[in-house]
Amino acid sequence: IQMTQSPSSLSASVGDRVTITCRASQNISIYLNWYQQRPGKAPKLLIYAASSLQSGVPSRFSGSGSETDFTLSISSLQPEDFATYYCQQSYGTPYTFGQGTKLETK
């Protein structure tokens, strides 16, 4: 299963609302997870099962979608949100990741 994220990079400012999309090459139901990775750090789970917020993750993060099309939204960017974001399908092995979206300061 191929996962395609867009855009590959995104420039935004603190307070902006941003949306990242992820498309699966086949129907994966809601087996879609989102991770945040800061430089030099391990990935951190943000959203699982397409729209469920992981415990401890701020509510400005939200996910939606099903089958092949998914989105990750951040409602009001904070300085700590500038990082790289990955989607991952867990419908079947291999559990493929998207290529990543780097969120940068404008």
| CA-based R_g, the chain, Å | 13
- Identify which of residues 42 and 106 has a Cβ nearer to other proteins in the complex: 42
Report in angstroms how near the CB of residue 92 gets to other proteins at its nearest. Answer: 9
Size of the site for other proteins (CB under 8 A): 26
Give the contacts of 80 (CB within 8 A, at least 6 positions apart): none
The site string for other proteins over 26-65 (x = CB under 8 A, - otherwise) reads ----xxxx-x-x----xxxx--xxx-x-x-----------
Q: Rounded to an integer, what distance in angstroms lies between the CA atom of residue 53 and that of residue 36?
A: 13
Contact indicator for 5, 22 with CB cutoff of 8 Å: yes
The residues of the shown chain that bind other proteins, judged by CB under 8 A, are: 30-33, 35, 37, 42-45, 48-50, 52, 54, 86, 88, 90, 93-100
